[in-house]
Structure 1
Amino acid sequence: MSYIRFHRGARQIGGCCTEFCCGDERILIDFGSNLPGTDEDSPVTDKQLTENVFGQNAQYGAVLFSHYHGDHYGLYKEIPSDIPLYMGSTAKEILSVVTEYIDRYSDVKGLERIKNMSVYHPGRPLQISGINEINVIPLSVDHSALDAYMFYIEMAGKKILFTGDFRDHGIASENNRFWSLINSDKYIPSDIDLLITEGTMLSRKKEIGDNIVQSEAELGKRSAEIFRAHKYNFVLVSSTNLDSIIEFYHNSPDDLPFVCDLYQFRVICKAIQGKKDWLTLYRPKTTGDNETKPIYVLMNNNDSRLEEIFEENREKGVFVKTVPIFPGQEDTHLESGFVMLARPDRYPENGKNRFVKILEKYSEHDESDVSILYSMWKGYLSGDHEDKAITGFIGRHHREDLHVSGHAYPETICRLIKETNPKRIIPMHTEMADEMAAMEEFSDYRERIVPMDETGIFDLSAL
């Protein structure tokens, strides 16, 4: 029997885990945790998912992670150690930096497992030991997580496209890259049997309309206006939302220092190392004076890690001009203004973090000079999902909201259906699986849309 089983993720956003089975061969795509604050009320908790997938002694040839967001990889520590894990090469490097910091506050360490992950490469068929009947080609896509992938899969004589999380309005989609990939018969046939597509934004249409920018390029242009209008610019953005971070860097005024801490600088360097040869924006900015715009890095005294990063950059052919800022040097470098990638204080019991201290210091000068650019989900600002650390950091300061979705808009999904012409369509990563067929955008494809039932199993013989 050949089938696809959605262990979780066909009727919710996040917490994804999808099994592909062909005879005795099985692989998993993603093994993600439920979104923060939702696990207790989830129909399938993280613990139950782990038991359902691995508690029956089922044998899996590999787990493929589409990208490094927690709702897709977050339960990796629960995967038996003898099962190979795969991820994109740049994504693995970024996740290694993130995990090193997470491990500081975790009893169960994860860095060794991350570093032992195998990597796949865009457009290159995967060679998985013991897997011969499930043929997988990873394809690089645009998402708010850098180095994300969709998968073209052939099994049981069927042609399947599994999108994972994707969009067509970020840096990786510029110059029509995404649609050129979709329309290339080299990787994806023009008429496939099954499209498994994310549908995150089907329930967030109002959010799309409320955003004043619809693409990362528009975000960059608008941020330039905001940065020019204020002296002390604090930016709240996910440390791994690299497209937005790179746009902020390239659109910061030449005369304002672009500032971050060492952790964020390491993540940025990994992104530049991995993507500079493919995406021109992932290269250091050249100013109007034909100089490389430096990145100012907040450092602790006696911290020698910056030299290690320089050496790694040199080995990878990367030059990122850097100015360290040690404690007590803030006035020298920051008094005249800045654009700073900041983070709220998650551990106030350890004392105020450096960003809070800098915010308080320059707020005392002239409150009107301070601006906080908020580039995250608005749900963190109020209501059930309010993040007290974020709202506490913002306080009464002037706030500019500037955020772009990491997910495909409904019209993007509709175009993907048109371009790939699938016989059947399974929505996932959505709260609107049952409603999708009734939406006006998908009226031409209503008969093809197949929401998953409670079993989560799709028998490929039905195609």
Structure 2
Amino acid sequence: MRITIHRGTEQIGGCVTEYEHKGWRLFVDYGEQLPGTVKSDKLLGIEGLTKGELSKSALLITHYHSDHIGRIEDLSPELPIYIGKIARDIQEYVSEHKRFVDPEGLTVVERLKCANTFVPGEAFKFGPFTVIPVTIDHSAFDAYAFRIETDGVSTFHTGDFRTHGFRSGKLPAVIEKYIGKVDYMVCEATNAGRPDATAETEHELQKRFEQAFRDNKYNIVYLSSTNIDRLFALYHAALKFRRPFYVDGYQRHIMDIVTQRDSMWGKSSLYNYGKYEPKTLQRDGDDFRVIPEFEKFLEEQGYVLIARASKRFDDLIAKMPGEPKKRYLSSWTGCLNPNSEAYNPALVASLSQGFEYMHTSGHCDMASLEFLVEILSPKAVIPIHTDNAEAFAKHLSDRWPVIHLKDGESINPIGGQYTDGTYAEIIAINKPTDEHKVIANDGGCKWWSLDNRHVGYFGKWNDATNMLQAISYAPKRLLGYNIEDEEDMSPFYVVAYDHNFKRITEYEWESHAPGEGNFQEMDWLKPGDKVLAVIRDFDAVIPCEIIGPLSEEFLKAEKEADEMCPFTYEEIKEEMWDWDWDKVIVRPLVRLADEYKSMPEQMLVQRVDIYPYREFDL
């Protein structure tokens, strides 16, 4: 499965990701680039999406925010689109509403009317792909992540998500039931530049609004019309203290889409109206109607008004009784910054009399993101939807390999079910564990436990090298890399690289047995050298002294020392493969033992498992 990030490795929003196998293509999201982004071509030239053959392509939409869905009007009607049912209904209504000021809205409506919807947790097929959509918590309602699998390779595409919303608590159970472990994770990293930030939960924010509505009689809140969870939280906070909750007809219709649909959310008290439903503002032409009875009721009862930055709302608020009027901003503050392309002078004017900022992010903090990675346990993580991939890698890469792609770059792993392929491995060290005890230490040397990460199988050698060169992992603990090309399920061509990806050792299947041309090949190794050897039987990295190449004399001595061995030396020699002869005799400077075995004073190590000696300070 080839995974390509067409856009999103160096910017928040406007992401486009492609999953391809044998000419079949699944794309995830095709949205607007956010204000302030250095714009690339608005219409990307992507085969199977914006041009070329479309019969084997489809587009998955994670949610209805414009930076994820906003350019679907550019796409051919022949391209199938998949989206959540309520998300589709909300976006269809929003686009229909906006079409009077934005003619492209009508095209979006037409596209959405033909869109396919799916059922959360139920797998569906598209060509060779199996897709499992699961609901996730985000500031857009009915948002989804996708498990995408083909050819034995699985990926979890997170979309935008958070773990501090009302619906976040069930995420671990959802992952366990529907997703399980995956090979790769394509992950939003919006807050990578704020790794120490922790987000206030939606429940905590709702409690603060309850306090505010109790203490203040006249309340005006500015927020996104499609931030469904926040809207209903404010409604219930107002209801608790019997503050009438006012919205315009547009906002009320969006809320009704959620409450009146037969969906999985119907049982939640959050998404149902209480004893007093939201009150809909009445229109008088282009303005809201304000009559004496309305004014008197508001003055007596107080109110919570959900407002938007517009002259119509400003005029209404000026006529509404009650002083002081308490204003709140419950959305991103970037639109208040005059130096930002997102600057909204109308909102600044509406808030000019002062406001209290009460908001929490729609995106996860880095600690929560790491928790999700722990559950999914991928071979590697690809960050997207970020303007700081380096910060993401710095935060996460000590525990998980992070693949830092540029826009347009790909990885191309294959499934492990193939008998022949190219295997890519990261070799790192870690602190010693208590599974082994030291039985000898020549000179107080340090030793390390082995931390090796298999990051994938590949059909081509270059795919493996490109993957490893794009990975950040454990920079303070990194020993090197290993790429192995297998034939007939045995090593055929193996290269070891140091931590700077410099080639240090090469093995090729041929002529390593006694009497053949490559017998006792040593390459850069010399007797007496101090090296670091990967001792795989002990999952350890041990400082060793090079004694020399494998010899028949050494093998015979080992055979004679093993009284339990039922085979003759000639029988042992007959069974040895070319790979078995490419070993080096070393003297471990630290000798370990466990419950079943102990290191001898001299032992054999595969030549490609030996690295130049260097110190580590963990």
Answer yes or no: same fold by TM over 0.5: yes
Q: CA deviation at 1:55?
A: 3.0
Q: What residue in structure 1 maps to residue 283 of structure 2?
A: 300
Aligned to 1:374: 329
Is 1:248 aligned with 2:234? yes
CA contact (8 A) 1:87 1:119 kept: yes
Q: Contact 1:134/1:155 (CA < 8 Å) preserved in 2?
A: yes
Shift of 1:273: 2.7
Deviation at 1:61, TM superposition (A): 2.7
SS at match of 1:12: coil
- In the TM superposition, 1:107-256 aligns within 5 A as 107-108=103-104, 109-110=106-107, 111-128=109-126, 131=127, 133-173=128-168, 176-184=169-177, 187-190=178-181, 192-205=182-195, 208=197, 214-252=200-238, 253-256=240-243
Contact 1:50-1:78 at 8 Å conserved across structures = no
Alignment partners' CA distance in 2, 1:54 and 1:21: 15
Alignment of 1:388-403 (within 5 A): 388-397=345-354, 399-403=355-359
Write the distance in 2 (CA, Å) between the matches of 1:295 and 1:172. 22
| Corresponding position: 1:361 with 2:305 | no
Residue type matched to 1:172 in 2? R
Corresponding pairs, count: 406
Query: Which residue pairs with 1:433 in the alignment?
Result: 389
Amino acid aligned to 2:60: L
Map 1:307-322 onto structure 2 (within 5 A).
none
Structure 2 vs 1, CA of residues 250 and 141 (structure 1 numbering), >3 Å: closer, same or farther?
same
Q: CA deviation at 1:9?
A: 1.2
CA apart distance, 1:31: 0.7
Residue deviations 1:286-313, cap 9 Å, x none?
Answer: xxxxxx022110122599xxxxxxxxxx
Decide whether the 8 Å contact of 1:28 with 1:60 is kept in 2. Answer: no
* RMSD between superposed Cα atoms in Å: 2.2
Letter in 1 for 2:180: P
The whole-number CA distance in structure 2 between the counterparts of 1:442 and 1:426 is 11
Aligned-pair CA distance for 1:25: 0.8
Q: Give the 3-state SS of the residue equivalent to 1:255 in structure 2.
A: coil
Question: Are the counterparts in 2 of residues 88 and 148 from structure 1 also a CA contact under 8 Å?
Answer: yes
- Displacement of 1:47: 2.6
Name the SS for the 1:54 alignment partner.
coil
1:145 aligned partner, one-letter code: A
Whether contact under 8 Å (1:433, 1:451) holds in the other structure is yes
Q: What amino acid is aligned across from residue 162 of structure 2 in structure 1?
A: R
What letter corresponds to residue 298 of structure 2 in structure 1? L
SS in 1 for 2:79: coil
Distance between the aligned counterparts of 1:277 and 1:87, measured in 2? 19
Task: Give structure 1 stretches of 5+ with no counterpart.
Answer: 286-291, 304-324, 346-351
User: How does the TM-score come out when normalised to structure 1?
Assistant: 0.83
Compared with structure 1, are the counterparts of its residues 454 and 165 closer, same or farther at alpha carbon in structure 2 (3 Å cutoff)?
closer
Give the 3 Å change call, closer, same or farther, for CA 59–326 of structure 1 in structure 2.
same
The offset of 1:150, in angstroms, is 0.3
SS at structure 2 position matched to 1:227:
helix
Q: Give the greater-gyration-radius structure (CA).
A: 2
Residue 101 of structure 2 is matched in structure 1 by 105
Once the two structures are TM-superposed, the CA of residue 161 in structure 1 deviates from its matched residue by 0.7
Paired residues of 1:427 and 1:450 also in contact (CA < 8 A):
yes
TM-score scaled by length of structure 2: 0.62
CA distance in 1, matches of 2:54, 2:21: 13
Counterparts in 2 of 1:411-450, with a 5 A limit?
A: 411-439=367-395, 442-445=397-400, 448-450=401-403
Q: 1:338 aligns with which of 303, 309, 330?
A: 303
Query: What percent of counterpart residues are identical?
Result: 31
Aligned partner of 1:27 in structure 2 is: 26
Residue 409 (structure 1) shift: 0.9
Residue 266 of structure 2: aligned partner: 277
Q: 1:32 to 1:50 in 2, by over 3 A?
A: farther
CA distance in 2, matches of 1:279, 1:199: 30
> Which structure 2 residue ranges, 5 or more long, are not aligned?
415-423, 425-455, 457-618
Alpha-carbon shift at residue 330 of structure 1 (Å): 3.3
Deviation at 1:60, TM superposition (A): 4.3
Bigger relative contact order, structure 1 or 2, given CA contacts below 8 A and separation 6+? 1
Q: What SS does the aligned partner of 1:414 have?
A: helix
Q: What is residue 65 of structure 1 aligned with on the other side?
A: 61
Q: Distance in 2 between matches of 1:71 and 1:457?
A: 22
Return the structure number with greater strand share.
2
- Contact 2:43/2:74 (8 A) holds in 1: no
Question: How far did 1:11 drift?
Answer: 2.1
Whether the 8 Å contact between 2:81 and 2:115 is mirrored in structure 1 is: yes
CA distance in 2, matches of 1:28, 1:444: 29
What do the CA deviations read for 1:329-367 (whole angstroms, capped 9, x no partner)?
53144223100100111xxxxxx31x211222247x53x
User: 2 CA distance for matches of 1:413 and 1:255?
Assistant: 38
The alpha carbon displacement at 1:205 in A equals: 4.5
Q: Distance in 2 between the 1:376 and 1:63 partners?
A: 29
Provide closer, same or farther for how the CA distance between residues 414 and 247 of structure 1 changes in structure 2, counting only shifts above 3 A.
same
Match for 1:55 among 51, 58, 70? 51
What is the identity, as a one-letter code, of the residue corresponding to 2:276? K
Would the alpha carbon gap of residues 453 and 50 (structure 1) be closer, same or farther in structure 2, given more than 3 Å must change? closer
Q: Could you tell me how far apart the structure 2 residues matched to 1:231 and 1:277 are?
A: 31
Aligned to 2:6: 7
Residue pair 2:247, 2:306 contacting (<8 A) in 1 also: yes
